[in-house]
Amino acid sequence: MRIAVGPASRRLGEKIAKNLGLMEVYVEFKEFPDGETYLRVGEIEPSEDILLVQSMAPPQARNLMVLVQMISAIRDCTAGKIVAVVPYLAFARQDKAFLKCEAVSAKVTAKVIEANDVDTLLIVEPHSDESFSWFTRKVLPIDPLQDLASFLRNSRETKTVIAPDKGRIREASVLAEMLGTSYGWVEKERDRRTGELVSKIGQLPVNTGSALLFDDLISTGGTIANAARLLKAQGIESIEVATVHGLFVQEGDVKIFQSGVSSIYAADTIEGKYTAYSVARSVSQAVEKLSHGL
């Protein structure tokens, strides 16, 4: 097996290649003046198995196209197995029709990816079970909490882990257990039409002096900023933030710091300013497990 690394996942792809001792397939990528993307892969043997890595980081639709171009170019060269690692699966939050006649973007994304004959998908923190239920091929979610816990253990004091909405209570409790600390949560409601957020304290352990807010992804920063303000109002002095997918659109990072947060740690599923830990180990372990069955 060799690895093809897409332009949105260069650093992560190289780490996975190194962990697994895989040689890279050459990937030529360019953008035409009008924004259309071009992709070509170097020579591949007719029955070679290929692992590819390409995130759907912003710009999401463009990087979905690049992912699909990679799968298609590789499939045209080999009848072997294609395993695609998708470090960030965009459009996952629209995993059902919340309002009548909405496009179910997660379903559309799954169909587009699978139309190009990929055998297996490994998706890091796919947001919800529903988001990857739309895939019909073999799809394995990768839980990156172990990677985050290792990073936090190495560099941080123990803090209470807080979920900024009920949807993340499971992750907060698992992370807290890994770190040997307590957990709590904030409750959030979002108006589906206006997008407006209202948050209130759900449950906090007594004597919470410092907190680590964890969310699967941060987009505009509104969810985290609201939660941080509530924690501050409860007298919690020190608040840090950890996430997997850090998008930070509309100056979401500024909003978060203004709410009283001191540090933000994100994974390399989206490579950016706050990337502090890597999911390479979890992805590599998943590929190793999978390759025993290939």
> Residues interacting with ligand R5P, by CB under 6 A?
93, 165, 167, 215-223, 252
Q: Which is nearer to ligand R5P, 27 or 106 (CB)?
A: 106
Stretch (H or E) spanning 200: strand 197-203
CA distances from 133 to 52, 102, 129 (A): 21, 18, 6
Q: Which is nearer to ligand R5P, 165 or 271 (CB)?
A: 165
- Rounded least distance, CB 168 to ligand R5P, Å: 6
Scan for tokens 């999911």, then name that residue: 279
Q: Which is nearer to ligand R5P, 72 or 133 (CB)?
A: 133
- Rounded least distance, CB 139 to ligand R5P, Å: 20
- Rounded least distance, CB 105 to ligand R5P, Å: 13
Active-site annotation holder among 188, 200, 232, 255: 188
Q: Which is nearer to ligand R5P, 37 or 263 (CB)?
A: 263
- Rounded least distance, CB 187 to ligand R5P, Å: 12
Stretch (H or E) spanning 3: strand 2-5
| Residue 29, token pair as written in the block | 């990528």
DSSP secondary structure letter of residue 102: -
DSSP secondary structure letter of residue 167: G
Strand ranges inside 32-137, DSSP E? 37-41, 50-53, 82-86, 120-124
- Active-site residue 188, yes or no? yes
**How far, in whole angstroms, is CA 207 from its chain's centroid?**
32
Active site residue ranges:
188
